[in-house]
Homo-oligomer: A and B are copies of this chain.
Amino acid sequence: MRIAEIAPPWFTVPPRAYGGIELVVSFLADGLVARGHDVTLFAAAGSETKAELVSSAEHPPDSSLLGNVWFDTYHALHAYLRAEEFDVIHDHSGIVGPALGALLAGQPPVVHTVPGPWTESTRRYYSLIHERVHLVAISGAQRRDHEAMRFAATIHNGIDPQAYPFQPSKEDFLVYVGRANPDKGPTRAIEVARRAELPLAMIVKRSEPFERAYWEEIVVPMLTDDIEVYEGVSHDVKVDLLGRARAMIFPIDWPEPFGLVMIESMACGTPVITCPAGAAGEVVVDGVTGYLRETLDELVEAVAMVDRCDPAACRQRVEQSFTADAMVDAYDRLLSDVVARA
């Protein structure tokens, strides 16, 4: 198959630091090439891939411009104007790309992996396009949250366990990974670590204006000497911190559509203490690879007993259910089906 994979224009594939979508697209583009397909990847300049790379600009735009409609539109249009060269287009971009895809009337068919949770805006938008593009949910929770929407498949995200060294021996600190946004609960993570009397390593993304403001106004006043903050770290630094931590504290306060950092943590042998929201219950096995708890008290209690979760069980969970290989196989089947029916 001649496949176009469209990543967002903002970060390289794979990402140098933050970028869950870009990590998934990296596995997909390389994996589909390995399975014999002719893959063109539309992604930021500087991306590294086994596919043919096409970048709409010489450099990725500064991430402080995230959401600026010019870059999203230019990048997506740049790809869709070449639609006739492909048997199928697989689009991971935000909003403009799938809208362009909806106008193609199936020539070629367009598959769109829905990246985020449902809001009033996304419900209205996807209701215009769900019968014109093939939507993929990244979790059962995301799909169940809006059953009126037509989905072609549910395909969990996956990672390459080889890239996540297994670390069975733990040190006395917690780790948090997430955007500086109340959805991801950084202040609750700080509160849990304080009450559990453990140091906290925070790997944060705070590049967008709202994130910077939230970080400065809400999070900074809560920081103490026991908290180390990391930003823009490499993969190696991230997996080292993830592997050595006693647990990841991921006290989400939104319908997490998947939560890639949870499987990254488990792959390193580190259990995840999170809240029963969105896809968390599909990813974490309560009492085995971490804990799903609602309140601050319960989260603190979970930290106290997290040693009961076997690092090997965490690793095994990822190897059995969340590998990039399984994900690529599932997309390969879906794309083949969609092309056969076109």
Interface residues of A, Cβ cutoff 8 Å to B: 67-70, 72-74, 76-78, 80-81, 83, 94-96, 99-100, 102-104, 121-122, 124-125, 128-129
Residues of B within 8 A of A73 (CB): 95-96, 99, 125
With a CB–CB cut-off of 8 A, which chain B residues contact A81? Answer: 102-103, 128
Contact among B70, B78, B100, B104 with A121 in the assembled complex (CB-CB below 8 Å): B70
With A100-B103, A103-B100, A103-B104 known as contacts, the answer to whether A72 contacts B69 (CB < 8 A) is yes
Given contacts A83-B103, A99-B100, 8 further A-B contacts (CB under 8 A): A69-B95, A70-B95, A70-B121, A74-B121, A76-B99, A80-B103, A100-B103, A103-B104
Report the minimal beta-carbon distance from A116 to chain B, rounded to whole angstroms. 11
Q: How many copies of the shown chain assemble into the complex?
A: 2
Contact with A96, one of B96, B122, B124 (Cβ below 8 angstroms): B96
Q: Which residue of B lies closest to A80 (CB)?
A: B103
A44 → chain B closest CB, angstroms? 15
**What are 15 inter-chain pairs, A to B, with CB distance below 8 A?**
A67-B68, A69-B94, A69-B96, A73-B95, A73-B99, A73-B125, A77-B125, A77-B128, A77-B129, A78-B128, A96-B99, A99-B100, A100-B103, A103-B103, A103-B104
Determine the distance from Cα of A73 to Cα of B98 in the docked complex, in whole angstroms.
10
